[in-house]
């Protein structure tokens, strides 16, 4: 399968550029939006870009360890989302907003 | 054929990611994020990691995005509520994101690709062998992490103040607040 990947002209470079595009889209979202929920989604996007790059490297190097690490990253992302959304819900109940320009008490 | 599939899926993934950022309605963002996740799962299939593709769809599209949708509908968010950043900050964000992508791609595109092993198939059997032999301790640590996250989420979401007090209690607290303000004024 790998050899067929190479024969079709699909190199690791393609995956590197794609992953970086997805990661940059996540960074752009974090900088661009004010809604904390969208920022969470963009963090998920960045984690997925890293996962994709990890799987690409694992396949091209023939090492299963990369895929195992993707597994762990998924678990950490699930934990992060559960706690983060719970915090966001509590904050919304108190302040009636998810705007990060208002939720800036921990900033400085 | 594989190359065309790669380009098509990549186009969909990047478009979906950009639409997540630029769409005003949070529900639309979630739908586009689900699309991006599905295309990433297809990329995993293309990279011969079938088990990870299945797990990715189940965990992300099945669990995490449903959680996001629930929270969005619970908080009743829509485009009318959200304030936008100023134009200067938006332009700065776009420039930063673009430069970031260029720098990272330029730095990483020459990563060595010489070592190719054709024997790796990311089936559940192969992945499980590595996961439960070499990475058993991290596996257990992850289970602890998930337990801690679950406990934390339940503790955070369980609110004691949502229980409505009886009317006379409300009056009392109101009175107390009034006296407090009076004291403050003095």
Per-chain mean pLDDT for chain B: 81
Portion 51-80 of A in contact with B at CB < 8 A: 51-52, 55-65, 67-68, 70-72, 74-80
B77 and B139 housed in the same domain = no
Q: Among B40, B66, B81, give the residue marking a domain's end.
A: B81
Domain membership flag for residue B67 = yes
Task: Give the residue with greater pLDDT, B114 vs B30.
Answer: B30
* The pLDDT of residue B80: 65
**Alpha helix locations (H) across chain A?**
2-7, 12-32, 36-61, 65-95
Q: How many CB atoms lie within 10 A of CB B73?
A: 11
pLDDT average per 10 residues of sequence, chain A (108 residues): 56 87 93 90 94 89 86 92 90 85 78
* The pLDDT of residue B175: 47
Q: CA–CA separation, B173 vs A104, rounded Å?
A: 29
How close does chain B come to A36, measured CA to CA in Å? 10
* The pLDDT of residue B183: 47
Structure token digits, residue A8? 């079709």
* The pLDDT of residue A44: 93
* Model confidence band, residue B185 (pLDDT cutoffs 50, 70, 90): very low
- Domain total in chain B: 2
Q: CA–CA separation, B59 vs A97, rounded Å?
A: 28
How much is the pTM?
0.83
* A contacts of B75 (beta carbons < 8 Å): 37, 88-89, 92, 98
* B contacts of A68 (beta carbons < 8 Å): 127, 130-131, 134-135
Q: CA–CA separation, A83 vs A65, rounded Å?
A: 27
Domain membership flag for residue B103 = no
Task: Give the residue with greater pLDDT, B46 vs A2.
Answer: B46
Chosen from A4, A7, A18 to mutate, greatest number of chain B CBs within 10 A: A18
Domain membership flag for residue B176 = yes
B77 and B146 housed in the same domain = no
Contact B113 A12 (CB under 8 A): yes
Contact B108 A16 (CB under 8 A): yes
* The pLDDT of residue A1: 46
Q: What is the arithmetic mean of pLDDT over B13-23? A: 93
How close does chain B come to A87, measured CA to CA in Å? 6
The domain locations on chain A are 2-95
**A11 φψ region: left (φ > 0), alpha (ψ -120 to 50), beta (else):** beta
Find, among B89, B158, B82, the residue nearest to A38 by Cα: B82
* The pLDDT of residue B75: 85
Contact A10 B6 (CB under 8 A): yes
Q: CA–CA separation, B155 vs A36, rounded Å?
A: 21
* The pLDDT of residue A98: 83
Domain membership flag for residue B26 = yes
Specify the range with the lowest mean pLDDT, choosing from A20-29, B132-141, B167-176: B167-176
CATH code for position B20: 1.20.120.1200
Task: Give the residue with greater pLDDT, A107 vs B141.
Answer: B141
Let me know if domain A2-95 sits in CATH 3.40.50.9100.
Answer: no
Portion 31-50 of A in contact with B at CB < 8 A: 31-35, 37-38, 40-42, 44-45, 48
* The pLDDT of residue A45: 94
Identify the domain containing residue B159 by its residue range.
135-186
Contact between B25 and B78 under an 8 Å Cβ cutoff? The reply is yes
Domain membership flag for residue B17 = yes
| A3: contact with B, CB 8 A cutoff | yes
Instruction: Find, in chain A, the residue whose alpha carbon is nearest to that of B45.
Output: A55
Tell me: pLDDT of B159 over 50: yes
Q: Among B81, B116, B143, give the residue marking a domain's end.
A: B81
Flag whether the ipTM exceeds 0.95: no
Domain membership flag for residue B98 = no
- Report pLDDT digits (tens) over B77-134: 776 667 778 888 889 999 999 999 899 888 887 776 655 655 667 788 888 888 899 9
For chain B, report the end-to-end CA distance as a whole number of angstroms: 81
């Amino acid at each position: 399968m790998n050899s067929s990947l190479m024969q079709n002209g699909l190199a690791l470079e393609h995956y590197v550029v794609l992953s970086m595009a997805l990661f940059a889209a996540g960074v752009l979202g974090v900088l661009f939006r004010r809604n904390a929920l969208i920022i969470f989604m963009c963090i998920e996007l960045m984690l997925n870009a890293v996962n994709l790059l990890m799987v690409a490297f694992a396949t091209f190097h023939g090492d299963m360890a990369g895929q195992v690490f993707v597994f762990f990253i998924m678990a950490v992302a699930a934990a992060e989302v559960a706690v983060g959304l719970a915090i966001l819900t509590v904050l919304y109940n108190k302040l009636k907003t998810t705007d990060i320009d208002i939720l800036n008490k921990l900033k400085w | 054929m594989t190359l065309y599939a790669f380009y098509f899926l990549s186009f969909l993934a990047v478009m979906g990611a950009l639409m997540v950022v630029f769409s005003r309605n949070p529900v639309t963002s979630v739908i586009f994020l689900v699309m991006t996740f599905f295309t990433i799962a297809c990329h995993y299939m293309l990279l011969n990691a079938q088990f990870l593709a299945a797990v990715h769809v189940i965990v992300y599209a099945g669990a995490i995005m449903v959680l996001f949708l629930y929270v969005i509908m619970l908080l009743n968010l829509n485009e009318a509520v959200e304030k936008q950043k100023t134009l200067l900050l938006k332009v700065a964000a776009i420039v930063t994101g673009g430069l970031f992508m260029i720098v990272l791609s330029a730095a990483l595109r020459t990563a060595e690709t010489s070592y190719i092993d054709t024997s790796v198939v990311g089936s559940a059997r192969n992945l499980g062998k590595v996961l439960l032999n070499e990475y058993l301790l991290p596996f257990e640590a992850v289970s602890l992490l998930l337990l801690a996250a679950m406990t934390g989420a339940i503790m955070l979401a369980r609110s004691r103040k949502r229980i409505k007090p009886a009317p006379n209690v409300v009056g009392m607290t109101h009175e107390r607040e009034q006296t407090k303000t009076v004291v403050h004024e003095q």
